[in-house]
Structure 1
Amino acid sequence: MKTLFRLLLGCLVLGSFTAGAQDIGARVEQMKTAYTASGSILALDGQTLVIEPNMPAPVCALPREEDGKIAWYRYAFPLASITVSLTDVDPSLVSEDRVFTNPEAPSAYKPGDKGDAVMVIVVGMPGKKFPALIYDRDKLAHLGPGPHRSSDYGQVQDNVEAFGLTFNDTAAAHAFVAALRNAVMLAKTQAMAH
């Protein structure tokens, strides 16, 4: 009887682990679909992704009211690729901001205007960094058409604590964030089970 109980318990644990891995896979597929217009995502294993944004990534301007005036913050994440271990993501700090990618937006802005894109910010857990390949936006902008070596646009390795991904479609950004948060929680639950 004890042997039967152990066998059933082992099947339950193995079954829940397999279901968790399948759930992460489904969430990764949702992220891939949501991110298609902005870049690509490759799953290295059940818990590690390589995200390759389209280059060049837009410069995003974010208006904030400060002392009764609008201040503009500009963000550019020149990522050729970033490797993301899902267990290293802080799901409570994943955020979305409406941003403007048109360089003329600050001069044409009127209070209440909505940005034309959504920037999703992903932050690592304290002490964790994401390996990334970054590039020089100016070098990339001055290259002509055709294939180029990564050295032509100043690609170098870096480690970053946070990164931003830009979406032109608000629904796609929401879908990506929901799938990412779910995948992170599932990955963390699986990691704790080991």
Structure 2
Amino acid sequence: MTNNPVRPARVDEAEELTQIAVRATRNDGYDDNAIVRFMPALKVNLSLIAAGLVFVADSEAGVPHGYVAVRPAGIGGLILLEGIFVDPAHSRRGVGTRLFATAVELSRKMAGNVILINSSPSSVDFYARLGANKIGATPFVFSPDVQLSMFAFAIPPSGEHGVEAVRGGRSS
């Protein structure tokens, strides 16, 4: 497992991060037509970057390997995971797990107690390994033929082993 540095995203790298999401989605077996349909969900939200809610895992040389985005749901304590995307060339090396740990830490700072996750079929095992509980399924708004699994991750209180356990898990 690598220990990629994680830092806040910059607005000027939004396109590069969007391309990571596109490559990761294509690697999951989706074709160009699906990518076009999915694009509203794959494009990095500039408002979230400006608000400090998007974080990037870099290589030691400063090359982005993946990113995570979260946002408050507007319902007390509920945080939405907008997405975790890892460049396929760097998957299964701990990048996704480190990004999820960052999402947990950020959610805790926002007084979150639950992270709601809509998972693509290829990421279901990843979220389950991290301790998220499947709570249902929903059609993907941009392509209703794709079913997303809904997960809830209970954010452990500060000082408990939740974040450390997440960091020690396997990656996506």
User: What TM-score, normalized to structure 2?
Assistant: 0.25
Higher relative contact order (CA 8 A, sep 6+): 1
User: What TM-score, normalized to structure 1?
Assistant: 0.23
Report which of the two structures shows the higher radius of gyration computed on alpha carbons. Answer: 1
